[in-house]
Amino acid sequence: MLPVEFTSFVRKRPFRAYRIRLTDGRYHDIVHPDMAVILGFDSVIVGIKDKKTGGSQEEILISLAQVTQIEFIDAS
């Protein structure tokens, strides 16, 4: 995925929740604008939510080359 394509989702206002699908079948739901931050031209840092507390548990670095699709989702 090109950085400009990803940037349009990260900077969309008003914010809409979206799902990042990866080449290995995993996906990450971004339900808050601060959960994903673009790092340079080829990667993004994603905050993974703690299922018990709802807070950020850890951050992972994803190469944009691993992203196969981004789609808007219903955050509820």
Per-10-residue mean pLDDT, the chain, length 76: 78 88 93 83 80 69 91 76
Q: Quick one: pLDDT at residue 65?
A: 92
Burial of 67 (0-12, 13-18, 19+ CB in 10 A): buried
Residue 76 has a pLDDT of 52
| Alpha carbon distance 75, 67 (integer Å) | 20
Q: Output the pLDDT for position 27.
A: 93
Say what the pLDDT of residue 68 is: 92
- Can you name the CATH fold of 3-72? SH3 type barrels. (2.30.30)
Length of the chain: 76
pLDDT at 54: 58
